[in-house]
């Protein structure tokens, strides 16, 4: 199966094989070494010397951790939403009692850093800015460095959902002054879902003392306390740690600059291939993501039917629209273990299927 959704991503066979290792004591010396080693290997991808906490949860759990560990009920936050996952970040903050000022950008566009600056001047009490680096629902990558420059000057914390960018797109946690940076195992890391990573700046640690939103499972200070003993507060998903440990071999052999280059190239290849089929790209070309590409479906094409045909006839799995965009698009993942031939196979299939449909006879159109 050619799994071309924006996560979970395909995993190298050696990574999958590592999942099968027998269980160990999660409070013994072997796990302590494993936890320390994984943390060390995460740091270069985050471009940070700060702590990175590894949580047993989906990426959404890390988003909740970012919010609840740094804020108090009633705190004002600026939520930059360019799609489904931006909304989710805002929703989490609102669920825990933050007053959320939403900067909602039309789907397909990136946030405007200048507008972020204006909104921060308009709401000087904002304690934290929530931003999605790479929005998989729309296939757009925000200009995180420019946004971070504006936020840093204004003063609030910057909480970054980098779940679908980190390990595929360059991000510099320390140099850009990011306070909390989140990722998750099933993206560019080429590991199955179930682990989330939270990079925590020294400033983020210091504000936690006063943050009063309730938290327990996702309490980062508790995670740090246990990490110093080589443990996690609750039982960790050991198999996924085994897999992550092996995935680093592949990531580091290719090297981070090479990985970023490959994602840039494959992003361009995907977009140009789709354009050559006469298809309409959904994302603003200036901010098109190099981990996921979105295509607006030609009118009369059923998303559900096309997904089914691609899966059943070609063994290619892509994603459809999310949230309010359901039914209107294809979302094509090209992050982690992906090569040009994976995309070529999809382009070939789309050429056959959408070509057919565009010149469909009335009988065929009635069937679709």
Summarize as ranges the residues that interact with its own copies (CB under 8 A): 1, 3, 5, 7-11, 16-17, 19-28, 56-61, 64, 91-92, 95-97, 184, 186, 192-194, 213-219, 233-240, 311, 317, 319
Give SS3 for 104. Answer: strand
Alpha-helical runs (H) found in the chain: 13-18, 29-46, 59-70, 84-95, 113-122, 144-154, 173-176, 202-208, 220-227, 238-254, 256-276, 303-314, 340-358, 362-367
Give SS3 for 11. Answer: coil
Of 131 and 196, nearer to its own copies (C-beta) is 196
Shortest distance, CB of residue 302 to its own copies, whole angstroms?
Answer: 16
Shortest distance, CB of residue 268 to its own copies, whole angstroms?
Answer: 25
Of 47 and 231, nearer to its own copies (C-beta) is 231
Give SS3 for 119. Answer: helix
Give SS3 for 229. Answer: coil
Give SS3 for 194. Answer: coil
Shortest distance, CB of residue 237 to its own copies, whole angstroms?
Answer: 3
Shortest distance, CB of residue 145 to its own copies, whole angstroms?
Answer: 27
Tell me which long-range contacts 265-273 makes (C-beta under 8 A, separation of at least 24). 265/340, 266/290, 266/334, 266/338, 266/339, 266/340, 266/343, 267/291, 267/293, 267/334, 269/340, 269/343, 270/332, 270/334, 270/343, 273/343, 273/344, 273/347
Shortest distance, CB of residue 235 to its own copies, whole angstroms?
Answer: 4
Shortest distance, CB of residue 351 to its own copies, whole angstroms?
Answer: 22
Of 108 and 192, nearer to its own copies (C-beta) is 192
Of 55 and 350, nearer to its own copies (C-beta) is 55
CB-CB contact of 46 with 166 (8 Å)? yes
Shortest distance, CB of residue 332 to its own copies, whole angstroms?
Answer: 13
Of 219 and 353, nearer to its own copies (C-beta) is 219
CB-CB contact of 264 with 172 (8 Å)? no
CA atoms within 13 A on the CB side of 221: 16
Of 21 and 41, nearer to its own copies (C-beta) is 21
Of 97 and 170, nearer to its own copies (C-beta) is 97
């Amino acid at each position: 199966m050619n799994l071309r959704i924006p996560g979970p991503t395909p995993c190298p066979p050696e990574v999958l094989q590592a999942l099968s290792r027998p269980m160990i004591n999660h409070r013994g010396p072997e796990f302590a070494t494993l936890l320390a080693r994984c943390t060390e290997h995460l740091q270069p991808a985050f471009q940070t010397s700060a702590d990175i906490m590894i949580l047993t949860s989906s990426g959404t759990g890390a988003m909740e951790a970012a919010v609840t560990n740094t804020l108090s009920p009633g705190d004002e936050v600026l939520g930059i939403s360019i799609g489904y996952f931006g909304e989710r970040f805002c929703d989490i903050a609102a669920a825990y009692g933050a007053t959320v000022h939403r900067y909602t950008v039309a789907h397909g566009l990136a946030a405007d850093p200048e507008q972020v600056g204006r909104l921060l001047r308009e709401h000087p009490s904002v304690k934290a800015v929530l931003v999605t680096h790479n929005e998989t629902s729309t296939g757009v990558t925000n200009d995180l460095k420019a946004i971070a420059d504006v936020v840093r000057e204004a003063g609030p914390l910057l909480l970054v959902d980098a779940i679908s960018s980190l390990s595929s797109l360059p991000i510099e946690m320390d140099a850009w002054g990011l306070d909390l940076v989140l990722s998750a195992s099933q993206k560019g890391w080429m590991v199955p879902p179930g682990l989330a990573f939270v990079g925590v700046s020294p400033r983020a640690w210091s504000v936690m003392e006063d943050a009063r939103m309730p938290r327990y499972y996702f309490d980062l200070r508790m995670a740090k306390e246990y990490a110093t003993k080589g443990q996690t507060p609750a039982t960790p998903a050991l198999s996924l740690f085994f897999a992550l440990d092996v995935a680093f071999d592949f990531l580091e052999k290719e090297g981070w600059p090479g990985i970023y280059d490959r994602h840039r190239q494959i992003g361009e290849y995907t977009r140009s291939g789709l354009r050559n089929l006469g298809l309409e790209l959904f994302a603003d070309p200036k901010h098109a993501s190099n981990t996921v590409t979105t295509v607006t479906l030609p009118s009369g094409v059923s998303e559900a039917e096309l997904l089914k045909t691609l899966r059943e006839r070609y063994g290619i799995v892509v994603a459809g629209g999310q949230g309010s965009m359901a039914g209107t698009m294809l979302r094509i993942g090209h992050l982690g273990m992906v090569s040009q031939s994976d995309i070529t196979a999809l382009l070939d299939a789309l050429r056959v299927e959408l070509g057919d449909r565009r010149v469909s006879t009335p009988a065929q159109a009635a069937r679709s």
